[in-house]
Structure 1
């Protein structure tokens, strides 16, 4: 019996769902312990596996929505290229984390079924199949649509063979002067072991022989990642070795700019690297390694040593994907599969480029008509007139009334940066405390905290060393902070600290005042220009004291059981969110209006899905805006027919979390760092804050309304888990959430400027 037959012949649909007759026939998962209360009705089994979508397939469905932006001809051309690059990054990470994790489970003989009723092996097989289709679509999008469109506007990526002899000679000179010295051929033969292939590196498989009657030898040549991956044709005459792409890149007589992939230049000049031998064949390949290496925090001598060991292990971790050119010789394929210990299903045939991140070098060309209109984050009206040199006024403004900032619509530097800089240089500030999960390599936030310490302020920083793929960057900052005498906590045993919080302790005339910042996003000035995130500034003493407790937990060893206002994971967040959902269900059963609107990155936790099913069955209207993973199936008669699920994919990455509960006409709003994922609710330290100021609630309502009324970038999920993109009505108004909120921020700035002028 085939694996497909054993799994009931189910087929993964293009947008993420299993169609009705194709749902798994595996016995339903009995997860009666998911909630403390029984199902709402006796005739509905809410533990039925068919009610839950697969986590991995749902994530791939999100990546398909990302790829759609590259297909969408309504987007500027460079924007389409950008989304091809984003898909490369997304799928690389998916293979490193999710596929790697599945392979570990398979190797450990894990047979436990997922909530949707699949074993790790079944999931691994299905995600490889779906990912293969996505990669094929990515290549087709570039070759059939984007590449011709680039040529139409005078930007060509050409084959080396099409160049004139003079052009090839100039590129050969460039290769010999600027590339050849960086190359290291590694040959596999009885005297040399199979070479180590680094993660995500693009390599040439080179077959050579000295004599016709000898067998070929395999060599690996790594394409240097620190050289431009696209090289301008005609720009290297006279020995010029500067390969940067810019507006001065060489053009043909008709203004066309032509570029050749660096890999092809290397491939056609290998005789300089392998002299006096016959080059029989060359082909490109790329390896992806597992990032899910084992870590045992309980027995680690220290978190820093553990993270350093994780980084070392990750370099040599199991391979989870091998990408090869379509015409790669069978002998090379077989050798790579054998030496890298792969299953044939982990082999992916690709065309060049395999890695689309290198194509984004074209953005350095001065072609604004091919880009989206640039966005410049606006000054927040409440911060616009404030200065780091006048901390009294700044802190008085926050004490007067809470402030809500929304990035990238509002400037990160002009709000969060101003807040921290003012505190760092204020002699009345006694202490600054902050959590760092991810931050920029040249972080102004870190430099500000160091400046505060030099000014005599007590500074404590919680740096999460286990932030995946940022471990090395965070290690560097830990060492720098400690060198400056700053109190640094590295993480918590058994938990990952994911909160985005800062606390300023200030001596004032009437005593010590606490100023808090609770955010949905990281203290990262660069991602703040691309990710949508919310931040609440408040002088609420309850929230301040909650943060004092939270930071004491980071640097001490005791965990507080209660908090005054913050919802903190893993202490009370799950309990409180469950209570809020059930309260809406109780109101609906009592005939009162009941509504939930929840915006998050992912809805993965089966317990929360079941709570939402229960609430829907009670009659609660529920709108979910979930950017990525969503296990819940909306629109199922009698179970989730009052639930809608939307996903917005556009120029900014939706990253903010907002939770609204109608509460019988006395609504409650919350913002913070946690999604409704099991890891966020149970295995991470998270913080979510209530938003109580009526004017700030109006702001949150406007954000949710913009997202839910979007008819350009929003996708709606059906009951089978498939997504369909919304479209404006014929001759109707186009409502694009990001554009609406950009315009709103501009209007805010203009009103504030007018008010200041009138005053």
Structure 2
């Protein structure tokens, strides 16, 4: 790093985040099957990274020289650094898998068997298994007569060299391509019969390798090598004011499958002649070739068999009911009297489903509005909105069609909602709707009363079990009137809205955060207490980083808790020596954003959907909200405090664990669960209406 450099490269910072995931895979204190899952997360993250970020760098490299010179960094140099770091991490993944994961599986009497290690009884089992489950779903393609073939995105193939033909009329050498049919098979792994206490499994790839003589009976010899392509997943959409955005999204989704190659991962043992065949018949260049190991697509380890060994997984954390809401038959009636805070995944997401389901059938409810960014495939929230529309409520739903990798699910629900009679707004031109808000309006006597839901996380009951978020139900008019204005903007598109209590990007959020930082700077210069505790997923916006540097130089103590990208560099003398950065990676994905400002010991606390990235503050509709009830503010403050004290799963900016043996152990996610559990002092087990486990 250059001495005068003020910003860490975004790409390298993201790779540092993904390395923290890899650290969990090699942490011996993590249960073995969970470590395998972290391998899958690491691999899945990296796949998406190549499809989006690496593909973007490659497109930037193709720009004209004069245009490239306007960029802050040279994309070619960035790509070189990225590929170097990726290669290092992939090598480490291979070492972790071979020398740690497989060895630890052996200690649990679980053994990986390759096609060359089969015992006679295992061979006999596989003959029947192959005939019944695999043979009919294989579709080999001979390449010799083809001038071109297409590789599907994120699919593992075997490229096969066939030699020694049995019949003279055949060519002396042939090549074939065979897709490993993971989806049709129902997973990547095949469990072999147990022998005593010993358990065995094989990769589906290796089972296919074993039966290649049957797949290609005209050849005496067949050698297979794994390949996988990742294609550019960016959607090239002209976000015009007019035009059918859904049609454009659908068209772009089709292009995604045929997008430009971002990388072709291949077995490092693949003969050069086979690689040449691939390049000649696909148009893939040498720049896109990335050497790997025998096995690709480690994301398939999400489906690794658990062998009915619960001790190799995290101990269950039964989802907790809310200490007050659990006793209320009507959520709307309860919210009318006070605000309620929810914390996922520790507490149940069922209350959100109940909120919309109750509103859908309540005769007094006149309208329901919601923003849908990433909804579950079988979304109960979306079903409740459909039901509300069918029941004659005025339902307005903002469906963000540009939610990357969730476009198809969002399109599905948008159509269902429209068919039911809801008004569906397909995002806003030039702005991605990333806020997570809902609004219910109810006729109560002679007046209309609004009930709002605001969250840091999506309306998604599936991810609510793994994403750690905060959410609030409120009927406080100081909040609901501002939420109404957000939904007004979605319909009238007039940007002249004034928000009194909410921070709404791109209208007042950046300005308000800047004002709050400036207030800390002024207090520090006056000798008053001045600090900030800022928890987010990503910190990249250079203007906000420069304000934090300014605060540090003024003497403001800045504590950052950043899970992912962090372009700020802490500890630079005279610039950021009053700034610390830590990151927590554990069993749940930290997803909440919490911004705390000292305000001369009268703390101001905001919870938000937005990170401090330029896209969040300037090109998205985001919502940050204050907690106006002091008890609820203290509740979030206490939970942030656990992360500040975490000495088990917290790392510093150099990915070094902040473990201190001389201090009592604090594992923040477990401390939060215990804290929330104590709010239910008489709780012995979750109520029957609540999900009982993760």
TM range, normalised to the smaller chain?
Answer: over 0.9
Q: Does residue 741 of structure 1 match 2:678?
A: no
Given the alignment, which residue of 157, 176, 192 partners 1:203? 157
- Aligned mates of 2:474, 2:76 — CA distance in 1: 49
Aligned equivalent of 2:272: 330
1:400 aligned residue: 337
The one of 156, 170, 189 aligned to 1:230: 189
Q: Distance in 1 between matches of 2:52 and 2:269?
A: 29
TM-score by structure 2 length? Answer: 0.94
Is structure 2 residue 170 aligned with structure 1 residue 251?
A: no
Shift of residue 525, structure 1, vs aligned partner: 0.4
Deviation, 1:296, is 1.3
Aligned length, in residue pairs: 681
1:154 match: 109
Cα distance in 2, alignment partners of residues 585 and 151 from structure 1: 57
Alignment correspondent of 1:727: 659
Matched residue, 1:485: 421
**What does the per-residue CA deviation read over 1:660-710, in whole Å, with 9 as the maximum and x for residues that have no partner?**
111112221111110000000011111111112110111111011100100
CA separation of 1:565/1:115 partners in 2, compared to 1, >3 Å: closer, same or farther?
farther
In structure 2, do the counterparts of structure 1 residues 364 and 688 end up closer, same or farther at CA, with 3 Å as the change threshold?
same
The change in CA–CA distance for 1:734 and 1:533 in structure 2 (over 3 A counts) is same
User: Superposed, which structure 2 residues align to 1:406-421 within 5 Å?
Assistant: 406-413=343-350, 415-421=351-357
Which residues of 2 match residues 31-110 of structure 1 at below 5 A?
A: 50-109=5-64
Q: Which residue of 2 aligns with 1:133?
A: 88
Q: Which residue of 1 aligns with 2:525?
A: 589
1:218 alignment partner, one of 164, 167, 175: 175
Paired residues of 1:54 and 1:115 also in contact (CA < 8 A): no
Distance 2:227 2:177 in 1: 10
Query: Judging changes above 3 Å, is the alpha-carbon distance between structure 1 residues 583 and 591 closer, same or farther for their aligned structure 2 residues?
Result: same
Residues 432-443 of structure 1: pairs in structure 2 closer than 5 A: 432-443=368-379
How many angstroms does 1:280 deviate by?
A: 4.0
Partner of 2:585: 649
Displacement after TM superposition at 1:107 (Å) = 1.5
Paired position in structure 2 for 1:624: 560
Contact 1:320 1:342 in 2 (8 A): no
* C-alpha contact 1:85 1:356 (8 A) present in aligned 2: yes
- Provide the rounded CA distance (Å) in 2 between the counterparts of 1:84 and 1:75: 12
SS where residue 518 of structure 1 aligns? Answer: strand
Instruction: Give, in angstroms, the shift of residue 342 of structure 1.
Output: 4.2
Partner of 1:29: none
Does residue 362 of structure 1 match 2:331?
no
CA distance change for structure 1 residues 675 and 735 in 2, over 3 Å: closer, same or farther?
A: same
Equivalence for 1:28: none
Gaps of 5+ in 2: 688-694
Are 1:277 and 2:219 matched, yes or no?
A: yes
The CA deviation at 1:363 is 4.3
In the alignment, structure 1 residue 528 sits paired with structure 2 residue 464: yes
Range that drifts further, 167-176 or 318-327:
167-176
What SS does the aligned partner of 2:575 have? coil
Post-superposition offset of 1:195: 1.6
The corresponding residue for 1:39 is none
Counterparts of 2:283 and 2:526, CA distance in 1: 61
1:317 matches 2:259: yes
Partners of 1:343 and 1:661 lie apart in 2 by 51
Alpha carbon RMSD of aligned pairs, Å? Answer: 2.1
Separation in 2 of the partners of 1:594 and 1:114?
40
Alignment match, 1:637: 573
**Pair 1:372 & 2:303 matched:** no
Q: Show the 5 A alignment for 1:159-170.
A: 159-170=114-125
Gaps of 5+ in 1: 1-17, 25-47, 234-249
Cα deviation for residue 114 of structure 1 reads 10
| Aligned-partner Cα distance in 2 for 1:495–1:674 | 14
* Distance across 2 between alignment mates of 1:299 and 1:399: 39
The residue matched to 2:116 in structure 1 has which SS? helix
Deviation at 1:317, TM superposition (A): 0.7
Q: Distance in 2 between matches of 1:398 and 1:609?
A: 38
The aligned counterpart of 1:445 is 381
The structure 1 residue matched to 2:290, chosen from 348, 355, 377, is 348
Indicate yes or no: 2:544 matched with 1:608: yes
- Structure 1 residue 333 displacement after superposition: 1.7
- Partner Cα separation in structure 2 for residue 194 and residue 178 of structure 1: 30
What does the per-residue CA deviation read over 1:249-299, in whole Å, with 9 as the maximum and x for residues that have no partner? x3102x111011111111221233223234442111111111124221228
Of 110, 121, 145 in structure 1, the residue corresponding to residue 76 of structure 2 is: 121
Question: Partners of 2:70 and 2:588 in 1: how far apart?
Answer: 31
**Residue of structure 1 aligned with 2:325, choices 383, 394, 403:** 383
1:624-703 pair list within 5 angstroms: 624-703=560-639
1:302 paired residue among 212, 237, 244? 244
How far has the Cα of 1:519 moved from its partner? Answer: 0.5
| 1:56-109 deviation digits (Å, cap 9, x = unpaired) | 000000011110001110111111111001101110111111101111111223
Q: 2:112 & 2:596 partners in 1: Cα distance? A: 49
Once the two structures are superposed, residues 143-181 of structure 1 have per-residue CA deviations (whole angstroms, 9 ceiling, x without a partner) of 000111011101111112111234224313322332222
Cα distance, 1:436 vs structure 2: 0.6
Shifted more, 217-226 versus 592-601: the winner is 217-226
Deviates more, 1:462-471 or 1:538-547: 538-547
* Counterpart Cα distance in 2 of 1:562 and 1:700: 27
Whether the 8 Å CA contact 1:52–1:115 is kept in 2: the answer is: no
